[in-house]
Structure 1
Amino acid sequence: MNDDIYQRYTEMTGLEFLRELIARGDASPMGQLMNLRVVDVSEGRAVVEGIPDARFYNTMRRMHGGFAATLIDTGLGCAVMSKLGKGVGYGTIELKVNFVRKIDVETGPVICTATVLHAGRTMLTAECKVTDKAGQLCAHGSGTFLVYPKQG
Structure 2
Amino acid sequence: MEVGDGWARFELEPAEWHYNVIGSVHGGILSTLADTALGCAIHTKLPAGTGYTSLDLTIKFTRVATVDSGVLTCEGTVITIGRRTATAQARITDSSGRVIAHAVTTCLIIPSG
DSSP-derived class of the 2:107 partner: strand
Runs of 4+ aligned structure 1 residues displaced above 4 Å come to: none
Q: Which residue in the other structure is 1:99 paired with?
A: 61
- Secondary structure in 1 matching 2:20: coil
1:136-151 aligned at under 5 Å gives the runs 136-151=98-113
Unaligned runs of 5+ in 1: 1-38
Q: Greater helix share, 1 or 2?
A: 1
Instruction: Tell which has more relative contact order, 1 or 2 (C-alpha 8 A, sep 6+).
Output: 2
1:90 aligned to which of 46, 49, 52: 52
Of residues 36, 43, 58, the one that matches 2:20 is 58
Q: How many residues align?
A: 113
Percent pairwise identity = 38
TM-score computed with the length of structure 2 as normaliser: 0.95
**Unaligned ranges ≥5, structure 2:** none
Scaled by the length of structure 1, the TM-score of the pair is 0.72
CA RMSD of aligned residues (A): 0.9
Q: Could you report, residue by residue, the CA deviation over 1:82-133 in whole angstroms, capped at 9, with x for unpaired residues?
A: 0011111100011000000101111121101111000101100000111111
What does 1:66-85 align with in structure 2 at a 5 Å threshold? Answer: 66-85=28-47
SS at match of 2:24: coil
Q: Normalized per residue, which structure has more strand?
A: 2
The alpha-carbon deviation at position 149 of structure 1 amounts to 2.2
